[in-house]
Structure 1
């Protein structure tokens, strides 16, 4: 039987596979290593708040019953945290689920989106599937946002602006003045999406409160956040969006699947949101260790991008795939970047002290052998 895959839209054929990286089991099996530092996916080394396990203890009804499709209790808690009504909160199966929802709700074939580059690939992929074109605005020579180029890109008609702040994978960020400049350049009728997956880690930096700035502009917008990173719930898949109006939330709600936030995820997120002490411990560890790892890499003469996330983006000076493969033999999982122009860069997550030591020691051995 001849299989014809032309039935699938050509935009899908043009997509690359998402680079999810190797699991600890795959690395253990392939390299026969025992200690593994999983530093490729920006997960929290401290995991979730202990309150999460307590919240999930009575599991029978959570398993057998459909979850609240509106996620009312969690939406109210999130809204309360940000001083917003619950009808301006939307839940997702991770924040990337909401990126898909937004793209399907807003983008049409031939539309144009503007986004920094290098990017979180799904910022581009979901738009491409909808038939939209992606206008990339590369970071400058210091790996910071190129604000003048971003403003020029916004002079042409566009349907959507997607900005991750702090930026993934680079880690650099827009300060309040920079974000204000860009927002003032957005054409009327476009949707602004600010992806703040790493906002919790930006405390103490000049990374601004996007919600406060957005309120000054007559724009449609969504600010995306997640429980996967600082809150340690990556495996449960729960993210959320804060919107410019209840009307926009209502329309986006019509596009998402009804039960896209499962019952365990909703219960866990409620418990995690209530434990500020655990969140502070997670962020403090990441900030402290990020600067320690940065100092080491710079001491080895690697070019390291500015970062206020829980990761660093550095130029390893050679094809990143080969360098990352060499790290795997030492039990260290990192993410070699594959987007054009950045194939020599690696994104390394900030883990526990022991995991970071394992990474540092592996880099030291590799450098001493070259």
Structure 2
């Protein structure tokens, strides 16, 4: 059975304040919504009707109206968020006829529930920021899927619909964190605490934990990416085929994928970190990656980590200095919420550097 994330129906989630303080996120969403609305006006010759799914405080609805939407419907299951969104839009001075704030969710027309909302007119643009630590952990794909039957489809648009984001990509990368794991013989108190909460691998399975939930700022621990770029393990494209009322989903998660690493540096303790990027529009990409955090000032990096952070787990063993050429990664079980991550280590062969020996178990 699928483990679908459902937002709380009241109260203010702890991550909301740092999320609102994430200037990079806010600016990129504003830019992408402006680009999408501008493209819609040029291609369709009119102003769009927009749905803000999971509107929260109403920030994306404000962006849409400021950038020229004809009408915005702001939808959220949390009644306190709906109240905040209503006040936000009213304080911004938009005509009351230009927006509607609704407490509920969009369900299939056959499903009549207390929270079901059934639009009277189809929407032209869908905007949403249902993104979590893993991007997919708040089930952006599943929740937006219910909206597709209520969206206008356009034959002259790539993908058939206007949506922000267009695509979400999850990657896996190998890192060392030299600021914390320096190999010193001294017992570092943070390191000692870290060892107590993050277990070693269970056979070939990486035990994933959230840096956010641990309040563990990996981005401040002198991260070093080992080897090539992180490898893609899942990719969701939000597009439809002609005549269809569902997303065309593409998942790059079948079989083992290789993460090439430098056999000199990949020794002992290293970590698999799951990162993601969201292609908001053709020109705008939002990144929740270790490298991106390094580009932020300290305030923005803390805000980003407090709302999302990373899922990560040990791959190397701190007590074993094993030279590796690469790590093979396989992700499965996405319907369970947090995927199962299996790894196979490929050891360097000192007698013959051109020949590899795969280590199925450590």
Q: Same fold (TM over 0.5)?
A: no
Higher relative contact order (CA 8 A, sep 6+): 1
Shorter-chain TM-score: which interval? under 0.3
Considering fraction of residues, name the structure with more strand. Answer: 2
Q: Specify the structure having the higher radius of gyration (Cα).
A: 2
Q: TM-score, normalised by structure 2?
A: 0.25
Q: TM-score by structure 1 length?
A: 0.25
Q: Where is the helix percentage greater, Structure 1 or Structure 2?
A: 1
